[in-house]
Amino acid sequence: MKSGKVLLGVLAGVAVGALVGVLLAPDKGSVTRKKISKKGDDLVNSVKEKFDELLDNVTKKVEEVKEEVADITQKQKSSTKEAKKDAQTTTG
């Protein structure tokens, strides 16, 4: 999760920098407000994209783990069946 904190810090820095840049620009108030709104929308979209990427990565990892668990379970069942057959043939 360290990279998530770094990403969040970078995004916050970009947002603050953009806000300060817009506020210090020599434009009318209405133009400045529109710029702030657009920058905010851009930031929200960027965060949504990053969140979607993170969610996709987590989903892929969960699916990989599920497949690994299913494989291990299947191998364990096969081993157990073989052990039972071996036990029956040796004792029977």
Give pLDDT tens digits for 15-58.
888 778 777 777 777 887 788 788 888 888 888 898 898 899 99
Average pLDDT taken over every residue of the chain: 83
Q: Judge if pTM exceeds 0.85.
A: no
Would you kindly state where each structural domain of the chain is located, as residue ranges?
2-91
Q: Can you give the three-state secondary structure of the chain, one letter per residue?
A: CHHHHHHHHHHHHHHHHHHHHHHHCCCCHHHHHHHHHHHHHHHHHHHHHHHHHHHHHHHHHHHHHHHHHHHHHHHHHHHHHHHHHHHHHHHC
Q: What is the pLDDT of residue 56?
A: 92
Distance, in Å, from the CA atom of 70 to the CA atom of 72, rounded to the nearest integer, reads 5
